[in-house]
Amino acid sequence: MKYKIFKNKEQASKYVSDLIVKSITQKPNLNLGLATGSTPILTYDFLTQAFENENVDFKNVKTFNLDEYKDLKIENKNSYHFFMNKYLFSKVNININNTFFPKSNFNYDEFIQKNGGIDLQILGIGQNGHIGFNEPGSKKNSKTRIVDLTKSTIKANAKHFQDESEVPIQAYSMGLETIFKAKKIILLAFGNSKKEIIKELKKIDEFSENIPASILYEHKDVTIILDEEANSDL
């Protein structure tokens, strides 16, 4: 697992966007795993700029999102479908039929593998160490499934809702095994609020169910991208 530290989240996000652009240039039908949350927004902004200024072609790209709230209509402005349309899909020439999310009655894991697997997976990390919505206690071999959100996740995500009571208590999430199968993984963590979990992650060097992101130690191609605020060495 490699760490790359950038001065700020702008520089870090530009690096990630450039990497995605390079990957699409090398493989126009890239299978791209995407994350939601505040962390990847700047990356999506830079990708939009790359589409406008450098003619990056998303026509044959397929995207696979990590998660989606259960019991929230996809038109709801807090759904992850809405988020992705707002920040990326409506701004580039992606074919909306090539964008996928976990949902009920859909064997997402089999579907991803049938499509050739994920080439590049973008991840955020929760303050409790979750990736996707794989909360502490998630098993290493977990598949895409319905998960109960922890109190800390509901609290952290309440900022996007009018009231904490409106945050769904369950979600569909890719499993840890699903994420692990991606060929290349980039995890982003920005800001002071991520410093503590990055410190915890650095303390261990093998998988611990308490910190689901620690599964990444066993993967052969993972880069953790931090800004200076999230870098616990400082």
Is 128 a catalytic site residue?
yes
The minimum distance between CB 181 and ligand PGA, in angstroms, equals 19
Continuous H helices in 133-204: 151-157, 176-180, 195-203
Identify which of 103, 37, 101 has the alpha carbon closest to the alpha carbon of residue 70. 103
| Smaller CB separation from ligand PGA, 57 or 200 | 200
**Which residues have a Cβ under 8 Å from the Cβ of 210 and sit 6 or more positions away?**
129, 136, 137
- Alpha-carbon 68 to chain mean position: 11
Q: 31, 65, 98, 128: which one is catalytic?
A: 128
Is 71 a catalytic site residue?
no
Cα–Cα distances (Å) from 107 to 79, 102, 225, in that order, read: 20, 8, 31
| Smaller CB separation from ligand PGA, 10 or 57 | 10
Cα–Cα distances (Å) from 43 to 83, 134, 145, 183, in that order, read: 14, 23, 27, 20
| Smaller CB separation from ligand PGA, 27 or 161 | 161
Q: How far apart are the C-alpha atoms of 190 and 227, rounded to whole Å?
A: 5
Is 75 a catalytic site residue?
no
Q: 130, 134, 227, 231: which one is catalytic?
A: 130
Is 219 a catalytic site residue?
no
Q: 68, 119, 134, 135: which one is catalytic?
A: 135
In the bound complex, which residue of the shown chain has the CB atom lying closest to ligand PGA? Answer: 37
Q: How far apart are the C-alpha atoms of 219 and 202, rounded to whole Å?
A: 15
The minimum distance between CB 54 and ligand PGA, in angstroms, equals 26
Q: 31, 67, 68, 157: which one is catalytic?
A: 67
The minimum distance between CB 116 and ligand PGA, in angstroms, equals 25
| Smaller CB separation from ligand PGA, 119 or 129 | 129
The minimum distance between CB 207 and ligand PGA, in angstroms, equals 18
Q: How far apart are the C-alpha atoms of 174 and 144, rounded to whole Å?
A: 4
Footprint of ligand PGA on this chain (CB under 6 A)? 37-39, 124-126
Indicate which residues carry an active-site annotation: 67, 128, 130, 135
